[in-house]
Amino acid sequence: MKATTVMFHEFGNPEEVLRLVNKSVKPLLTGEVLVRMKMSPINPSDLIPIRGAYAHRISLPTIPGYEGIGVVEEVGPSVSQDLIGKRVLPLRGEGTWQGLVRAPAELAIPIPDSIEDFVAAQLYINPITAWVTCTEILELGPGKVLLMNAAGSAIGRIFAQLSKILGFQFIAVTRNHHYTEELLQLGADHVINTSKTSLQKRIMEITNGRGVSAAIDSIGGEAGTELAYRVQPDGNFLTIGLLSGIPIQWKKVFQQTKVNIKLFHLRHWNAKVSTQTWQETFLTLIRLIENKRLILGAPDSFYPLEKIKKAVQAAEATNRNGRKVFLTF
């Protein structure tokens, strides 16, 4: 059996190094499932490794894609036949940008009929990151104030909604006015457009001069550094991305602010979390979606796997309003 697969044999610009190949599917091992993919989103976290940011821990050639949804086609030894024909998220196995994906059965997430494919396909990277950082890393709840930059992103919209679910105050930072109304409707308490307003002045007004309990930075560089100075002493500053490509001078920031600096990688949480907690965390998010308390973005566009280069080009275009480009199989 063969599967149409996206691979890269060298690091570089995704539009240049991604290749479409027919890959032979190896027999399933004990505890594995084989999933025929339906669709997979293109995330920044999918593209960053292709450029070589984590070259020290990626063996080439490799298959990109961290999330997506499909239907179980075969099961390996010791796996229940009842899974065959069920929609699942085949996570933490092979890359998902291929027609057939092998994945550990115990980590596959069953998806109820009430949730559409495009919603389920994006249930992993951003929702799990947002939920874990809010509940476990930052322990946000009533009386806490969270400040976040690049808040017009897909994950920023999730934090806005979680602020109402968990009861903390959310201050969204953007660089224009395009996302203000939507973020407020989703749950943000304040939206600060830094092209028009001083971040320092506005934060001092909102918090009566105290600063925020926690901040989440996705940009790094000057924008991330400024965010850190808006956190009250002994508050938490968490970095989850580096969109600018410029690291923050952590030592200097800590010496001047006395904030607790933390770095979150989803793979680190994956490595320590039990299978039971893994499944329960997804079930919590699935219930929030079913109850309409958490809404994930509508698709921007769909591209067949054979159009991978055009799909990547579309995914890297700006002003998609937090919506994702999807690969279809």
Q: Residue 99's domain is classified under what CATH number?
A: 3.90.180.10
Q: How many domains is the chain built from?
A: 2
Structure tokens at 118: 């495009």
* In a shared domain, residues 41 and 150: no
Mean pLDDT within 218-236: 94
Residue 259's nearest CA partner among 232, 221, 296 is 232
Same domain, 153 and 260: yes
Q: How many residues does the chain have?
A: 329
Residues 201, 226: contact at Cβ < 8 Å?
Answer: no
Helix (H) or strand (E) holding 43: none
Task: Reply yes or no on whether the pLDDT at 24 is more than 70.
Answer: yes
Q: Measured between alpha carbons, how far is 52 from 12 in angstroms, rounded to an integer?
A: 7
**281: in domain:** no
Question: Alpha helices of 152-274 — where are they, by DSSP H?
Answer: 154-166, 180-186, 199-206, 221-228, 250-257, 266-272
* pLDDT class of 250 with cuts at 50, 70, 90: confident
Q: How would you label 63-102 residue by residue, b for 16+ Cβ within 10 Å and e otherwise?
A: bbbbbbbbbbbbbbeebeeebeeebbbbbbbbbbbbbbbb
Q: Tens digits of per-residue pLDDT, 172-210?
A: 999 998 899 999 999 999 999 999 999 999 999 999 999
Residues 118 and 135 in one domain: no
Is residue 279 in a domain?
no
**Are 115 and 159 part of one and the same domain?**
no
Query: Checking DSSP bridges between strand 231-239 and strand 169-174, what pairing results, if any?
Result: unpaired
User: 174: domain CATH number?
Assistant: 3.40.50.720
Q: Which domain holds residue 98?
A: 2-123+296-328
Is the pLDDT reported for residue 317 higher than 90? no
pLDDT band, very low/low/confident/very high, at 19 (cuts 50, 70, 90): very high
**Range scoring the smallest mean pLDDT among 52-66, 130-144, 191-205:** 52-66
**Which string of DSSP letters, residue by residue, matches 80-117?**
-GGGTT-EEE--SSS-SSBSEEEEEGGG-EE--TTS-H
Q: Are residues 181 and 232 in the same domain?
A: yes
- For residues 262 and 135, state if they share a domain: yes
Indicate whether 145 and 209 sit together in one domain. yes
Domain annotation covers residue 277: no
- What is the tens place of the pLDDT at every residue in 286-302? 999 999 999 999 999 99
- What is the Cα–Cα distance from 301 to 92, expressed in whole angstroms? 25
Residue where a domain terminates, one of 267, 284, 308:
267
Kindly state whether residues 256 and 169 are assigned to the same domain. yes
Does residue 289 belong to any structural domain of this protein?
no
Average pLDDT score over residue span 58-72:
96
My answer on whether 244 and 311 are in the same domain is no
Same domain, 33 and 82: yes
Average pLDDT, the chain: 95
For residues 143 and 246, membership in a common domain is answered with yes
pLDDT digits (tens, 9 = 90+) for 270-288: 999 999 999 999 999 999 9
Distance CA 5, CA 14 (A): 15
- On whether residue 94 sits in a domain, the answer given is yes
Instruction: Let me know if residue 274 belongs to a domain.
Output: no
From 246, 267, 288, the end of a domain falls on 267
User: What's the CA gap between 117 and 296, in Å, rounded?
Assistant: 12
| Beta strands, E only, the chain | 2-8, 18-24, 32-41, 69-75, 87-89, 100-104, 109-110, 145-148, 169-174, 190-193, 212-217, 231-239, 260-263, 301-304, 325-328
pLDDT for the residue numbered 56: 85
Q: Is 153 found in the same domain as 113?
A: no
